Chains A and B, each alone.
Chain A
Amino acid sequence: MKRAPYSTILLFLCVHGLTGAIAETLKVNEIFTPQKSKVWLLEDHSTPIVCVSIVVNKGGFNYDPAGKEGRSAIGAILTSHYMNKFRREMQEEKILGTSLNTQQGHQKISFITSPQNLEKSIRLVLKILVNFESEIKLLRQAKHSFDGEYLEPDLSSPFTFLIKRWMALSFPRHAYGSFVGTKDGVTALNLSDFKDYWKGKLTKDNIRIAVTGDISEEDIKATIDKALSDLPTNSNEKEINIGHISPAEAPLFQVFRIESPQSHFFMAQKGPRKKDKDYHAFIVLMDILGGNPHTSILSQEIREKLGLVYSIQAQPEGDIGLWQILFSTDNKNAGQVYKEVIKTLNTILSSRISKEKVEASKKALLGAYATTFVNFSGTCLLLAEGLSDDEPPTFLSDFIQKLEAVTVEDVERVAKKYIKPGALRVVVLGNPIMVAS
């Protein structure tokens, strides 16, 4: 048997050390309470607090009624205003850092509290939401802010504008494209659309809970059922399956002109979804292409060698199944940067990707993954993400094994499968001077 080179052995040992360390520290306990509520618990007794994330299953952008696209996005704004009225009550129960996150098929309500107050805190947050109500003045304000964000590009967050536009253009008749709402949908909303907005969704059969912190399985079993005892058992919300589709394939280049010294580019096309077998190889590919700002090909070629951008990123989007590149540059350099991006993509397709690059990328990705868990509530949100994606409780360490298993051949294969430079769909905000092709 041929001896592996020393560096490979060392890398293997290092990575395996990391794998073992992560698997050891990230033991997610899947618990079913006596009343059959599903809880994922990651115990952490180094801190006298707990983080809770309540995953609401039948909720999110996919559940906006036809003709009322935007209900979830506006609902999130109204909920935030509404919950602010109860800040004193929440402070009394030691509830900190409340956040609401809305995604395609679910919503998450997260907060930090003390272990002793877990039951009361959950009860209070659910009670507040179940009794949600809003007022016409706030609805008008929320609609107005939608107009501002959707219709008017905001140079302080150009990519938020561009991503919304790209999605609308690439998924024209699907919930993916109208996830923040449409002008007509938002205009059509009235206060009755928000009556009992949370009531129907907050039922025992429609929520799952992620908990990290200073609490044990016994305490969870004793606490959660009591905390949820006021909720109805069954939800009347119908499951909506909008069906997954891929983005439009035809190439696109659309400029939204605005007075600005810079142009901002967002380009994307179809990529693998999180559960596709290609996904982990694709993560490595994206890291090599434009993930790591210090080592990626795009950064090296366009930032370091040419000095044309401050940052340029390539990243996968695994919920819908996309990959994307984002950058900003002076208007006068826009054409050249775009040309360099296309050139880089073609180079990736035509040249071999080296084993060293793949192994270096895996090392960096695993190193970064280890640091993810430095943040306490971030870990809880990651757990909640796994719950909402119907992952197994081993998903945190499964990720490592899947990443470790990626080979050069896998990376080259997914590059050929998903990178189509001639079919990129590009939206630009600014005043780009494009070099004539």
Chain B
Amino acid sequence: MKALAEPSSFTLDNGLTVVVLPNDRAPAVVLTLWYKAGSADETPGKSGVAHFLEHMMFRGTKNTKPGEFKKILGGLGGSVNAGTTFDYTFYVEIIAKEFLEKALSLEADRMEKMVINEGEFQTEREVVLQEYLTRIEAEPAGKFFQSVNAAYFAQHPYGRPVIGWKEELLNLTSKDLMDFYKKWYAPNNAILVVSGNVTEKEMRVLAKRYFGQIPKGNVPSRKRLKEPSNLVGHSKITHSHHKYGGVEFQNIYKVNQFEKTFKNYFIFKLIESILTPALQTVLVDDQEIAHIALSTYPSDHKDPYSFIIIAKPKSYKNMDKCQAIIEFLLKKIINHGIHEKIFKKAKEDLIFSLNASLSDLDDTALLFGTLMSIGYKFEDVKNWENILKGIELKEANDLLRSLFNTPPAITAIKSYGEN
């Protein structure tokens, strides 16, 4: 049984990539539009532009008044959302099939004809600052995450927060936003992913009708400073706040040394799925010194990011013991390698859980959009199950050994009270 029903892709003359993921379970579609530009593409000193622009995309075009985009689609029972990351900005509409054309026409309109009214810009800056207040200033974990990232990335723009540094946010102008929009928001820098009750035949007609006339943009290549390869040593960053309600640490490992391939993407996912239950079993179930223990590979990045082991010891005094057990466990796995049986099971489980998440039409569109926005090819994403099945045990063990060959670059510790 195929996980996806005949996904297909085509490209318009102006460079817009269209991906169609048909599924006639519901008389609805999930329309997502991805611009391959995020906070890591901002000019230094102008952090927060990409995210602020995302907000302004709802504040009017030459043809629609501020707020009208949401009002029109909301009036048809649709839901509307958007998000900005380091590497891409995406817009999502979930709407009854009957109204797909309306949504497409509105997206095409704002791809080409967004305008920024100065009054709307100033009002929206207040909204963005409110968001900054909620997520960062009033949230110690948000501040801490920003600080850890800034320390972890020596020069790569991932060290800058997506929402921007507050001082720079306050000084952004509407021209900064329009410059970013003109530079990056073009059909040849975008991917339209539509899942649900739609066919490729329909989308070929509709995509051409609504986006075909938008001219290609002069999109620059994405030049980013790379992380230096010869950094050594291990840093510790700590932060204490009463809101943390306990202690948590994250061991953050460098992954710059690995080639970016779709195969490696899945090898990391497999390591994550093997290591997490191992950590839980030892630290939570057997030793009972942690509430939670897991590993994670933040995978929605164009450039190398990190691999992280996280644990919440039951008390501060358990932290060293937790670390010692993690180190012991990793050494054991490196020395003995992942067992064949465990590896086979991990692959089966990962295939199953991915198929489970692909059962939702919105998650399917989001997965394709994310992976293609960070550089993976449509044919590879479509073929994900075979690529995953084709991973050999030796490849996983080699990557694992290389990953944990050196200590983590940073250990970040959040605690409350006991330290």
Within 8 A of A (CB), among B278-326: 281
Closest to B3 in A: A48
B397 at the interface (CB under 8 A from A): no
Instruction: Determine whether A363 belongs to the interface, using a CB cutoff of 8 Å to chain B.
Output: yes
Chain A residues near B360 (CB, 8 Å)?
374-377
C-alpha spacing A318/B298, complex, angstroms: 42
On whether the beta carbons of B352 and A364 are closer than 8 Å, the reply is: no
Tell me, rounded to whole Å, the shortest Cβ–Cβ distance linking B267 to chain A: 20
Spot the interface stretch: B19-27, B233-241, B329-337: B19-27
Question: In whole angstroms, what is the CA distance A213 to B353 when docked?
Answer: 15
> Is the CB–CB distance between B359 and A295 below 8 Å?
no
**A18 in contact with B23 (CB, 8 Å):** no
Contact yes or no, A295 B75, CB < 8 A: yes
Does A373 reach chain B (CB closer than 8 Å)? yes
- The answer on a CB contact under 8 Å between B352 and A49 is yes
Q: Is the CB of B74 within 8 A of A14?
A: no
Q: B417 on the interface (CB 8 Å rule)?
A: no
Q: A17-B98, A48-B3, A367-B95 are in contact. Are A91 and B27 (CB under 8 A)?
A: no
A22 / chain B contacts, CB cutoff of 8 Å: 27
CA of A44 to CA of B358, assembled, Å: 13
| B196:A374 contact, CB within 8 angstroms | yes
With an 8 A cutoff between CB atoms, is B122 at the interface? no
Q: How far is the CB of B332 from chain A (nearest CB, A)?
A: 19
Q: Is the CB of B75 within 8 A of A46?
A: no
Docked CA distance A364–B78 (Å): 8
Q: A44-B25, A48-B3, A374-B30 are in contact. Are A367 and B98 (CB under 8 A)?
A: yes
Distance (whole angstroms) from the CB of B412 to the closest CB of chain A: 24
A48-B1, A370-B27, A374-B94 known; A96+B356 contact, CB < 8 A: yes
A369 at the interface (CB under 8 A from B): yes
Q: Is B28 an interface residue (CB 8 A)?
A: yes
Q: State which size class the interface on B falls in.
A: 35 or more
The residue in A112, A114, A368 that gathers the most chain B C-beta atoms within 10 A of its C-beta is A368
A25 touches B98 (CB 8 A): no
- A21 contacts B by Cβ under 8 Å: yes
Query: How many chain A residues touch the partner (CB < 8 A)?
Result: 43
| A49 in contact with B30 (CB, 8 Å) | no
Give B362-392 as 1s and 0s: 1 = Cβ < 8 Å from A's Cβ atoms: 1000000000000000000000000000000
Q: How far is the CB of A434 from chain B (nearest CB, A)?
A: 26
> Taking chain A's interface residues, is the majority helix, strand, or loop, or is none over half, making it mixed?
helix
Select which of B25, B99, B196, B277 is within 8 A of A367 by beta carbon.
B99
A371 with B78, Cβ < 8 A, contacts A18-B27, A25-B26, A46-B25 known: yes
A residues in contact with B99, CB < 8 Å: 367
B1's partner among A45, A374, A377 (CB-CB below 8 A) is A45
- Report how far A372 CA is from B30 CA in the complex, Å: 12
**Residues B356 and A49 in contact, CB atoms below 8 Å apart:** yes
A363 CB contacts on chain B under 8 angstroms:
75-77
Whether B94 pairs with A91 at a CB distance below 8 angstroms is no
Also in contact, A375 and B77, with CB within 8 A (given A21-B27, A370-B27): no
Choose among B24, B281, B356 the residue that contacts A25 (Cβ–Cβ < 8 A). B24
Q: Is the CB of A371 within 8 A of B26?
A: yes
Q: Are A367 and B78 in contact (CB under 8 A)?
A: yes
Question: In the bound complex, do residue B96 and residue A294 qualify as a contact, i.e. CB atoms below 8 Å apart?
Answer: no
Which residues of chain A (84-112) have a CB below 8 Å from chain B? Answer: 88, 91, 94, 96-97, 112
Q: Are B361 and A91 in contact (CB under 8 A)?
A: no
Q: Does A292 contact B (CB under 8 A)?
A: yes
Kindly provide the distance from the CB of A380 to the nearest chain B CB, expressed in whole angstroms: 10
* Chain B residues positioned under 8 Å from A185 (CB to CB): none
Q: Are A214 and B1 in contact (CB under 8 A)?
A: yes
Q: Once the chains are docked, how many angstroms separate the CA of A83 from the CA of B67?
A: 46
Q: Is B5 part of the binding interface, using a Cβ–Cβ cutoff of 8 Å? A: yes
Asked whether any CB of chain B lies closer than 8 Å to the CB of A424, the reply is: no
B43 at the interface (CB under 8 A from A): no
Q: A18-B98, A374-B26, A374-B30 are in contact. Are A96 and B353 (CB under 8 A)?
A: yes
Is the beta-carbon distance between A376 and B94 smaller than 8 angstroms?
A: no
Interface assignment of A348: CB less than 8 Å from any CB of chain B = no
In the bound complex, do residue B28 and residue A91 qualify as a contact, i.e. CB atoms below 8 Å apart? no
B residues within 8 A CB of A14? Answer: 98
Contacts A96-B356, A374-B360; A294 near B74 (Cβ below 8 A): yes
CA distance A373 to B362 in the complex (A): 11
Chain A residues near B277 (CB-CB < 8 A): 88, 91
Bound-state CA distance A94–B346 (Å) is 11
In the bound complex, residues from chain A placing their C-beta under 8 Å from that of B98 are 14, 17-18, 367, 370
Does the CB pair A49–B71 fall under 8 Å?
Answer: no
Measured CB to CB, the nearest residue on chain B to A13 is B98
A293 at the interface (CB under 8 A from B): yes
Q: How far is the CA of A48 from the CA of B99 in the complex (A)?
A: 29
CB of A365 within 8 Å of the partner chain: yes
Closest 7 CB pairs between A and B?
A: A367-B77, A368-B77, A294-B74, A373-B26, A21-B27, A370-B96, A47-B359
A14-B98, A367-B96 given. 15 additional CB < 8 A pairs? A47-B358, A48-B355, A49-B352, A112-B356, A112-B359, A293-B74, A363-B75, A364-B77, A366-B96, A368-B78, A370-B27, A371-B28, A372-B26, A373-B25, A373-B27
16 pairs from A and B in contact (CB 8 Å cutoff): A47-B355, A48-B1, A49-B356, A94-B352, A96-B353, A114-B352, A360-B75, A363-B75, A367-B77, A367-B98, A368-B77, A371-B28, A371-B95, A375-B360, A376-B360, A377-B360
Which residues in A have some Cβ–Cβ distance to B below 8 Å? 14, 17-18, 21-22, 25, 44-49, 88, 91, 94, 96-97, 112, 114, 213-214, 292-295, 304, 360, 363-377, 379
